Amino acid sequence: MFNQFLFLLYITVLGTLLLFFLKDHLRITNFYLLSLPAGLGAWLFFLTFLFLLPIPLNRILILTLSLILLASLFIIQKKKLFFSKYWKSMGIFWGFASLFSLFFLKFNFSVISNDSWRMIIGGKALVSSQRLIENLISSAGIYSYILHSTSTLFGFDYLYALFPLLTLSFGLFFLYNLTLNLNLYSSLPKTQPLFSSSLTLFLTLLLFSSFIILYHSIYIHNNLLFGIFTFIALFGLWKRASQGKRAWLLISWGALLTSCLFRIEGPLFALIVVILLISIRSIPYKEKFYYVGLLSLFMILWHAYLALILSGFTSDYFLTSQRVLLITALYIGALILLILYQKTLFKRIKKFFPLAMVYSLTFGWSFFIFTKGLRVKGDILILEKYGTLTLNVLENGGWGIIWIVLGVLFFIGLLLKRFHHESIFIYYILSFFLFFNILNLYRGGWREGWGDSGNRMLIHIVFIVAFYTFFKWGRLFLSKIQK
Amino acid sequence: MNKKIRLKLILFSPLILILLGNIIFIFYKLSNTDYLTKTSQILGNYFWGFPLIPFSVVLCVLLMLFFTRKTSLSIFLLNLSIVFILFLIAINTALFPEIHRYLQKFDSGFKIKKEPTLEKAMANSSASLSKDITSYLHLNHSLNNKILLIPSSSPLDNDYFFHAFVSSTQFKKEKYNYVLDNKDLKKLKEFESKKYKASQGIRDIKIYSLFPSQSPNEKLILFYHNHTILFLPLEWTHRLFPDIHV
């Protein structure tokens, strides 16, 4: 337990020191609430990098390098840190983080499934074999295993306390930013912040007290992690576009890269964010260049490396060498888009890119369901997946009435008064569901119950849909308050 | 009509029509199955059943927000949200026994002194398991960890699962000292060769899940300390361990 506590404290401190570079550009609450996700993302990137090096990893080496990383961040920022007024608040924050870590370590409510076993054991196997095992990398995102390899490296059994801790941190982040942005965008007088806080507290608790969110907070898997990092990525993009806060674009980039490596389909969903970014006029080309360029470069190099490992390997899992090459080609396409960006024709049509993306996905979905649906043999089994999904959303998937309420409020909310760059949310949500429906046709047999893969994937989008819906309706009701 | 609205209609109408077309096609194709019946039953329940209560409370509060102008409402809302959330948690625990059980464990949590292990996680999740699967976890514990039941989705996983367990801090091979004798091994091999073709035998293994939504009629893998990994049908476990009452 103590070793796991040290690990959780380490990634919290790491995240705080990393975000310290951006402290002048972030509100202090966001600075602290993002520490754990930032530290986790940085740690996973660092550990993956070490795994790719031809050096044998052992506990002593990892611990030494981790401390060197932390010390380096201290030294780089020593002048700012030593004279900083943040020491007191950092101490209080780390104290609270420690307390909550101890609580979640003490009371182990974790649940595991076959997938969880695979991730926990796969993580241990990575350390023992000192290589990327083909079975692992073709069945789930590499971070799913790298995360659990920490247990062997830090000397504890398995990582269970991270998930509830991260859910708590993210829940507070969701609450704070919903409140903050409602205050910014509504006509509510500044003398009544308590009113908006009450409303957002009510809505956030409504969401986070639901069975499915509570269960995912104790379930050892990657769905919740993917959902959290995807939300931060999209939210950061929106903050940059609507409020001009450049630091958020960097945070968005880091979160998107992390989410890509948690799930096999992560890079494909990340392309939706890339298309949205390219189409936003208020973000200068230079920032887009670095964002898309670096992300594409990472994805191309990573998938080229995967293609090398998987070549000649017959996989029964999701990621085959052909699909890896497809993802690589798509990111090369993203780079080509970036190069063509400065052309005049491109400048005229780039604002239609999100719409074109939605139309492409719609036509793609139509093509697949009609071709698969019209085939004589096996068609009904493929389309039955949608029936199973519907039953999961309505009853068997553990969502309660979340999707009914959010669905109705979302569609009616589309008619309400718009806010700056609202289309970022709308296009992402629409594209997500379209692409999700296409993936639906290619994944294995789906089943009723919360554990079904497709049902769990809905957690990737629920926070984004909830934030958008609460924000739209919150603005409406707050605007009715008189001075 | 406003030019902007007209442009949006032109751009988005085909999209909406295609999406509606897809949904209608799927409904049409599923019309001979029971999915539509089940869906309409569920929706009917939602409108007339128990979940209407929290939904109505939410609606009332939103309407109050809409019409009121008093700032003291914020204090009221704060109190109401706390009460409402307690109410939701109470409903959740009643409707979902798993959460209720985990909250019950909160009391026993103070007595936990041992460091949590993977076995603990398995035991935690056993509360929601079906009887058969739970019995195999009890079997595991009753044998004092002589045999560890490891679910695996593919025989190709065996090598690294084995190595992973051997190198794990918790699961040292010395712990497992139960050996099947040659007679038992022979029976197992005969069973395997009769039921499955040699080349396909291990590929007929299905995924074993610890959750009740999965059928428990799957194969398990037994891991022996002599590094032999065999695939064992569930019913054979009783035959191999007749003294163990599960």
Stronger pLDDT, B145 or B189, i.e. the higher one = B189
Provide the residue type at B79 as one letter: N
CB atoms A124 and B102 under 8 Å: no
**How many beta-carbon contacts under 8 Å exist across A and B?**
219
Q: How far apart are CA B232 and CA B192, in angstroms?
A: 9
Question: Testing the interface with B: which of A6, A58, A59, A111 to mutate, by most B Cβ within 10 A?
Answer: A111
Burial of A399 (0-12, 13-18, 19+ CB in 10 A): buried
Report yes or no for ipTM above 0.85: no
| Report for A117-131, A165-179, A350-364, B133-147: range of highest mean pLDDT | A165-179
Pick the residue from chain B with its C-alpha nearest to A314. Answer: B156
Contacts of B73 in chain A (CB under 8 A): 195
Nearest to B51 among A160, A198, A401 (CB): A401
- How close, in Å, is residue A25 to chain B by CA atoms? 31
Instruction: Give the least confident one: A401-410, A429-438, B196-205.
Output: B196-205
| DSSP category for residue A395 | I
Do A432 and A465 form a contact (C-beta atoms < 8 A)? no
Contacts 24+ apart (CB under 8 A), A89-96: A89/A28, A89/A32, A90/A16, A93/A16, A93/A32, A93/A35, A94/A9, A94/A12, A94/A13, A94/A16
To the nearest whole percent, how much of chain A has pLDDT over 70? 91
Contacts of B89 in chain A (CB under 8 A): 209
Q: Report, as an integer, the average pLDDT of A47-54.
A: 88
Give the gyration radius of chain A's Cα atoms.
22
Provide the residue type at A279 as one letter: S
Q: What would the DSSP string read from start to end of B120-149? A: HHHHHHHTTS-HHHHHHHHHHHHTTTSSEE
Nearest to B121 among A112, A128, A450 (CB): A112
Alpha-carbon separation of residue A369 from A356, A372, A385, A435 (angstroms):
20, 5, 11, 13
Average pLDDT, chain A: 84
Q: Give the residue from B166, B213, B155 showing the smallest Cα distance to A456.
A: B213
Q: Are strands B148-150 and B229-232 parallel, antiparallel or unpaired?
A: unpaired
Pick the residue from chain A with its C-alpha nearest to B212. Answer: A449
Collapsing DSSP to helix, strand or coil, B109 comes out as helix
Give residue A189's region: left, alpha or beta (phi > 0; psi -120 to 50): beta
Residue in this structure with the two tokens 């919290």, named with its chain if needed = A12
pLDDT at residue B31 greater than cutoff 80: no
Q: Report, as an integer, the average pLDDT of B162-180.
A: 33
Spell A344-379 as b/e; 16+ CB within 10 A means b.
Answer: eeeeeebeebbbebbbebbeebbebbeeebeeeeeb
Alpha-carbon separation of residue B44 from A392, A394, A410, B32, B91 (angstroms):
16, 11, 21, 20, 20
| DSSP category for residue A111 | B
| Report for A211-225, B39-53, B58-72: range of highest mean pLDDT | A211-225
Q: What would the DSSP string read from start to end of A344-363? A: HHHHHHGGGHHHHHHHHHHH
pLDDT at residue B36 greater than cutoff 70: yes
- How close, in Å, is residue B124 to chain A by CA atoms? 7
What's the pLDDT at B197?
Answer: 33
Task: Provide the token pair at B24.
Answer: 């209608």
CB atoms A383 and B29 under 8 Å: yes
Q: Report, as an integer, the average pLDDT of A388-414.
A: 83
CB atoms B116 and A218 under 8 Å: no
Task: Provide the token pair at B86.
Answer: 């307690």
Do A196 and A179 form a contact (C-beta atoms < 8 A)? yes
To the nearest whole percent, how much of chain B has pLDDT over 70? 17
Collapsing DSSP to helix, strand or coil, A318 comes out as coil
Instruction: Give the least confident one: A295-309, A467-481, B86-100.
Output: B86-100
Nearest to A109 among B102, B163, B167 (CB): B102
What's the pLDDT at A433?
Answer: 92
Q: Give the residue from A368, A390, A391 showing the smallest Cα distance to A379.
A: A368
CB atoms B69 and A482 under 8 Å: yes
Give the gyration radius of chain B's Cα atoms.
28
Do A338 and A278 form a contact (C-beta atoms < 8 A)? yes
Q: Report, as an integer, the average pLDDT of A152-174.
A: 88
What's the pLDDT at A464?
Answer: 96
Task: Provide the token pair at B91.
Answer: 């409903």
Residue in this structure with the two tokens 């196997």, named with its chain if needed = A125
CA A214 to chain centre: 18
What's the pLDDT at B114?
Answer: 37
B222 membership: H or E segment, kind and range: strand B220-223
- How close, in Å, is residue B104 to chain A by CA atoms? 11
pLDDT at residue B109 greater than cutoff 50: no
Q: How far apart are CA A61 and CA B102, in angstroms?
A: 38
Contacts of B120 in chain A (CB under 8 A): 108
Q: Report, as an integer, the average pLDDT of B63-72.
A: 56
Q: How far apart are CA A365 and CA A384, in angstroms?
A: 15
Q: Give the residue from A322, A386, A383, A333 showing the smallest Cα distance to A357.
A: A333
CB atoms A157 and B26 under 8 Å: no
What's the pLDDT at B61?
Answer: 62
Stronger pLDDT, B52 or B241, i.e. the higher one = B52
To the nearest whole percent, how much of chain A has pLDDT over 90? 34
Nearest to B35 among A205, A384, A451 (CB): A384
- How close, in Å, is residue A446 to chain B by CA atoms? 11
What's the pLDDT at B133?
Answer: 37
What's the pLDDT at A352?
Answer: 82
pLDDT at residue A319 greater than cutoff 80: no
- How close, in Å, is residue A383 to chain B by CA atoms? 7
CB atoms A316 and B154 under 8 Å: yes
Q: How far apart are CA B25 and CA B13, in angstroms?
A: 18
Q: How far apart are CA B140 and CA A361, in angstroms?
A: 49
Each residue's pLDDT tens digit, A170-226: 999 999 999 888 887 765 555 456 667 777 887 888 788 787 888 888 888 999 999
Q: Give the residue from A31, A3, A39, A433 showing the smallest Cα distance to A229.
A: A39
Q: Give the residue from A304, A326, A355 showing the smallest Cα distance to A52.
A: A304
Q: How far apart are CA A266 and CA B4, in angstroms?
A: 35
Do A93 and A16 form a contact (C-beta atoms < 8 A)? yes
Q: How far apart are CA A145 and CA A147, in angstroms?
A: 5
CB atoms B116 and A113 under 8 Å: no
Instruction: Give the least confident one: A45-49, A209-213, A373-377.
Output: A373-377
What's the pLDDT at B246?
Answer: 31
B232 membership: H or E segment, kind and range: strand B229-232
Burial of B140 (0-12, 13-18, 19+ CB in 10 A): middle
The helix-helix angle for A223-243 and A35-52 (nearest 10°) equals: 120
Q: Please, which pLDDT band fits residue A143 given cuts at 50, 70 and 90?
A: very high
Burial of B57 (0-12, 13-18, 19+ CB in 10 A): middle
Stronger pLDDT, A480 or A422, i.e. the higher one = A422
Contacts of B92 in chain A (CB under 8 A): 209-211, 214
pLDDT at residue A369 greater than cutoff 50: yes
Nearest to A198 among B74, B121, B209 (CB): B74
CB atoms A205 and B85 under 8 Å: yes
What's the pLDDT at A177?
Answer: 93
CB atoms B18 and A391 under 8 Å: no
Instruction: Give the least confident one: A121-125, A211-215, A311-315, A331-335.
Output: A311-315
Nearest to A125 among B18, B117, B160 (CB): B160
pLDDT at residue A249 greater than cutoff 50: yes
Q: How far apart are CA A446 and CA A455, in angstroms?
A: 9
- Does this model's pTM top 0.80? My answer is no
CA A77 to chain centre: 28
What's the pLDDT at A373?
Answer: 62
pLDDT at residue A81 greater than cutoff 90: no
Name residue B222's beta-bridge partners.
Answer: B149, B230
What's the pLDDT at A93?
Answer: 92
What's the pLDDT at A170?
Answer: 96
Burial of B161 (0-12, 13-18, 19+ CB in 10 A): buried
Q: Please, which pLDDT band fits residue B226 given cuts at 50, 70 and 90?
A: very low
Do B207 and A164 form a contact (C-beta atoms < 8 A)? no
